[in-house]
Structure 1
Amino acid sequence: MTQMQKVLIVDDSQTNLALLNHMLAQEGCDIVQAKSGIEAIELVRHTNFALILLDIQMPGMNGYETALKIKEFDKGRHVPIIFITAIFQDEDNVRQGYETGAVDYLFRPVDVETLKSKVQVFLQLNEQKMLLEREIDQRRKSEHALGVAEEKYRSIFERAVEGIFQATVTGVLSEVNPAMVRLFGYDSADEMVGVEAMRQHLMIDADEREEYIKVLKRDGFVSNFEFRARKKDGEIIWCSESSRLVTLEGKETEFIEGVLEDVTKRKLNEMELKHLATVDSLTGVPNRHLFFDRAEHALAHAKRYGTKVAVLFVDLNDFKRVNDTYGHQTGDELLRMVAERLMRRTRETDTLARLGGDEFGVLLTNLEDPESAVFVSGNLLEVMDSPFIIQGESIKVGATVGISYYPDDGKDCVTLISRADAAMYGAKKRGGVRFGTFKDCGVPK
């Protein structure tokens, strides 16, 4: 029976050891644990490991120091090390990790499928390495043994699920595996060889290309570099690439080699989550958080260039009556329709947001004079005059608008909204008035 390959997990946290052990329990390997760098070094001296998963932040001897010591022993010199960390994610620490012998990085929280995929690749490589060593020993490094070894390594290259490539230093692809061909929708490797990867053919964004080249030249490698790429049929996808410049001793750079994967689904999910975090789920307009963010930027710009900003606080009249009479479902539909009407009367440079309940805010930037805000308020009120038809019912609701100005009424967003709110209530109290400014409401600053 073939002996199971050993994977060493090094972490001072028993919780982390147990979690990683659980993740890899079904991966067909023998898990060995060490709770310190010293314990790990002692194990490596006497044991053949296929892979080491090494925590960076440990008391006494940290992960970098442990990796350097491991590489001093014959049994540790060629063992691949993957650093796992939740803290040391900056470029300097990543570079230090590669310099101490790491082959890859994983950042906490660790994605289970990513961990399993990487472990399986290195287990396969180690298995082929052990087979190769046995064959070379048996056949005394004959040409046949070398040919078999090359074929086995080529098999891994061909079967990998991630795109693997080699390219010239100018970015022209010279070798690609089948996964790379499938990823970009080409018919064969021969068709893809010769494509200029660092031009519009694949890496489409000029700024991303410039950043990629800068990092590659500066550090000699890129790790998990994300960029937009164009497939053969024109479809745009997101890719994550880890690659390095390969140099031969005493010679110029020979080529670039790397691994690439499609991360489009994850990127789209991230963008969707970011969108949902800043948009009101009911009306589809910006929410209070995004309104404050844009207001702070607008106020900083106004302060720098001496321009004016206005905040309008729009409150619906008798909205509670609508909910009580027709139900909350009708009330929700009314809020959606109100948002649509108000959007039609605001400029693209302005921001309409739902601040909560039946309250909306409008941020007006680069005002030429205060009367512009009064004019916009009139437009918003006018568009509310027509009744809303919801499920055959004609529903009429009005609105009252309060106006505050930067810098006259406040220097920050919270103050401006508060004073626009006060102006709105002042207008309601006066009766027969549909909008008012903070100056009109008589509340002291």
Structure 2
Amino acid sequence: MKILIVDDKPANCLALQKILAKPGLNIIEASSGNDALALVLEHDFALILLDVQMPDMDGFETAEIIRGNHETKHIPIIFVTAISKEQKYIFKGYDKGAVDYLFKPLDPDILKSKVNVFLELYGQKEVLKKTNIELKKANARILEQQEALIEEERIKVLLQMAGAKAQELNQPLASLLENIALIGEIKDNTAKTKECIYRMKVSGQKILDITKKINTMNYAEPIPSYYNSAAVVSFNRKIQILVVDDSEDVVEWFKAFLADQDLIVFSWAENFKDSFAMLEREQFDIIFLDHILKDGTSIEYLKNIDEKSIETPVIVVTGYGDEMLASKLIQLGAYDYLPKSRINTESLSRVINNTLERARLRKDVKKAQAKMAEMSTVDELTTLYNRRYFIEVLEGEFERADRYETEMALIMMDLDYFKKINDSLGHPAGDMVLSDTGKRLRRHVRKSDLACRYGGEEFAVILPNVRKDSIFSAYERFREMVSKQSFKYESKQFHITVSIGIAFSNDAESANDLLAHADQALYQAKETGRNRTVIYNTNAISVG
């Protein structure tokens, strides 16, 4: 710590030095107000002992300048003076910024006592400052962790909702990097080409690292020392947890770890059947699931959860520490995998908190996606108009055809056995087929027609002002075009066919009737062998 003694008489400075000297205290002297003003800008003083009577610039003026400077106004000043003790001088000193007065001759005990008070205050202030700095650093690290977790979960959610898995991206990305490396070996590359290749390599590696991170298991590692879980993990509402385990003793085990968490309520189910019955009756925030139960494993349980469209987050808690099993469970939809050997109060609280945050994030993403889909008129995958816009246009076109006594047609089509493609090759292959079909349909329709993705693998086309005899032949050509198209995905080649139903507005009383007729024609095409075009009429459905 440092204190500043300001006095124009060396003897006075020396006397104060002798009284105040002690280990850890650095006493600096100034013989004038100007010297003092320069020193306070160079050093961080705990206290200033300032003589009032000095030539050129007295103590009052010096104090006023120190108090007027934003960087030095916080330094406490004690006036040391031999002038009159009259009230007007004392008030003037306080008015200029003094915190106390000491009158000469000085009492050493009083001097040390008053100085020690301010030194102690300075020490406390420094400790508080260091503590605040550490807290800011800790908070910054925690925020970084939270942001990283949220970003990781956002990517996971988006990939999951898009029907993709991280491992499905790894292969093409790794191939991209390998090909870039081969390009780099070609001779006579210009400097600019090499620079572009380097940038592509860096970008590809970053994406590969992201996908690796997405695929990495979170094993509830020990919390870093700066991470105070008790301060961060707190629950401000009731948390309902369903424990699915053969033994009810496990519930007491969890309760023992979370004895201080009054808002966490546990329920117990012994088997699949009981747990699903409870999930129908009650709302739970989390499911703690044992891997091996009497009626199956967590793998079967997660498949049942998916089939029943239950969105309650599942954490698999087990005595097994198999990383392959953990990876499989995460891919099947488990939020986390927690080996019993790694469970303690901190890890359990943290995994509950993180799971709740991830579940909230997924709900937010779904809500945002649903809202965006509702507001949008275009299907993102095929770039055709979406179902919502199709329904709006269909109503208007039907009324227009009725008003002007013109004919309009409605085409409904469905890709045959499309589910087999998703099941055998994966959703990316299915998306490729849908996107390609959308492009072909958009090129096939007239400018006045409206092509839409009706939903899933179904497409629809609204055709105003048509002649019945020309429509069948036009969409027979489209059907044949699709059946001849060869698709290739990851070295596997395959074909797909389409079934088509056609209906006309003159055979319908309303837009809903027209839609129902087209749907019936499509159903007939499916039932009579698929890969065919069927026209609906009021007497019977005719197959073309």
Flag whether TM exceeds 0.5 (same fold): no
**TM-score scaled by length of structure 1:** 0.36
Q: What's the TM-score once normalised by structure 2's chain length? A: 0.30
Please state which structure has a larger fraction of its residues in strand: 1
Report which of the two structures shows the higher radius of gyration computed on alpha carbons.
Answer: 2
